[in-house]
């Protein structure tokens, strides 16, 4: 008798207050929340907005990266950033340490 009463009360509450039950449905994850790791950012092909997604890179440094690769060709390794004015060994080491999603491939 108790299970029937429970089912009856539950069904009645769902029908009487559907807006409450609709809010309980699980939220679907957004596309970027599904990714376990951030996408890699390629220094040789990334645009300015993509480069700015790298921690420690703002608009000026992103543009400096683009200008350097335009004038000197593709980067062979991430530490080649030290060749750009404003990128000291310390800054590049921090970038390498904190951003293992930065790559240099053709």
Q: Where in the chain is the domain with CATH 1.10.150.280?
A: 41-103
Which of 1.10.150.280, 3.30.360.10, 1.10.260.30, 3.30.465.10 is the CATH number of 41-103? 1.10.150.280
Confidence (pTM): 0.62
User: What tens digit of pLDDT does each residue of 55-96 get?
Assistant: 888 999 999 999 999 999 999 998 999 999 999 999 888 888
> What are the E-state strand segments in 1-106?
41-42, 102-103
Are 37 and 101 a contacting pair, CB within 8 Å?
yes
Higher pLDDT, 85 or 29: 85
> CA–CA separation, 5 vs 17, rounded Å?
18
**Average of per-residue pLDDT across 12-28:** 60
Count CA within 13 A, CB hemisphere, residue 98.
11
For the stretch 27-58, what's the b/e string if a residue is b when 16 or more beta carbons lie within 10 angstroms of its beta carbon? eeeeeeeeeeeeeebbbeebeeeebbebeebe
């Amino acid at each position: 008798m108790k299970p029937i009463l429970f089912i009856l009360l539950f069904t009645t509450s769902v029908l009487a207050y559907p807006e409450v039950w609709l809010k309980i449905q699980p939220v679907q994850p957004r596309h970027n929340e599904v990714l376990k790791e951030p996408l890699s950012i390629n220094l040789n092909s990334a645009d300015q907005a993509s480069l700015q997604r790298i921690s420690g890179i703002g608009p000026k440094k992103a543009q400096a990266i683009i200008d350097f690769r335009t004038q000197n060709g593709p980067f062979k390794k991430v530490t080649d950033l030290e060749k750009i004015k404003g990128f000291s060994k310390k800054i590049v080491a921090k970038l390498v340490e904190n951003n293992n999603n930065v790559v240099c491939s053709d």
